[in-house]
Amino acid sequence: MTSTPVTRDLEGKVALVLGGTRNQGAAFAENLAARGATTVVSYAGDDAAAQHTLAVLEKHGVTAEAVRSDATSSADVDALFAGVVERHGRLDIVVHVPGAVIKKPLADTTDADFDHLIGLNTRSAFNSLRATARTIADNGRYVILSTTLTSIMTGTYGVYSGSKAAVERMVLAAAKELGARGITVNAVAPGPIDDDFFRGAETPESIAAAALHNPRGRLGHPQDIAPVVAWLVSDEAGWVSGQTVRANGAMF
């Protein structure tokens, strides 16, 4: 997953990637491990993916853990964060990946659809932001995935876009609250990424159309987004906070 050589600039730091065992989350987690961070990944239920990713992380010579945790449960998230600090002594970097997408017109969106999107996109973000504020070390880094679609807020992604727009406003609020401690809080908004998450919400026709709509003629890859997250968690990005960085190949 790691495509370019990296320095061991994160040695001595502890990182947590919520949803870090598949797709973009796995790419982010490997980057952190390759740079020397003790790396903990959480996952919802795919034990096989968790064990595979754990083995990849351990090849980088770092302490790594995979912990099952429900990002929509405040009790689970609080226990996850507390466990990281208890076992490893500190927490310096948090990357939040969990989310859901439902592609429906508003008229066809059910209450259950709405609750699902708010739970996995908005509530999970609140849970990890609150836990981060309570546990992360001074000068820490928090990065969460949003979506480029919040900038257009149209079509059959309306409720999904709204749930992510709320995330971006919480990011700004948290950045202001935590800035005095040197903690940065940012979002990264990818365009369509060629992974299980995007393909599960689309048809083959819409996937092909999305690729053609990009000036580069393809979907993004997790490796296109990982360097953006990698920079935001670095010391060099210490003056960047409260931002949503759009990484979409000029698609929008």
pLDDT at 154: 53
Domain ranges of the chain: 14-247
Query: Within 13 A of 145's CA, how many CA atoms are on the CB side?
Result: 25
pLDDT at 119: 97
Q: Which of 22, 35, 156 is nearest to 101 (CA)?
A: 156
Query: Within 13 A of 226's CA, how many CA atoms are on the CB side?
Result: 25
Tokens of 14: 């502890």
Residue 192: which region, alpha, beta or left (left: phi > 0; alpha: psi -120 to 50)?
A: beta
The series of mean pLDDT values per 10 residues for the chain, 252 residues long, is: 70 98 95 98 96 97 98 98 98 96 89 96 98 98 85 68 93 98 96 68 66 74 91 97 91 72
CATH dotted code for 14-247: 3.40.50.720
Q: What is the pLDDT of residues 101-127, one digit of tens each?
A: 888 888 999 999 999 999 999 999 999
End-to-end CA distance of the chain: 26
Helix pair angle (23-34, 47-58), 10° resolution = 20
Cβ atoms of 97 and 25 within 8 Å: the answer is yes
Catalytic residues: 160
Structure pTM? 0.90
pLDDT at 199: 60
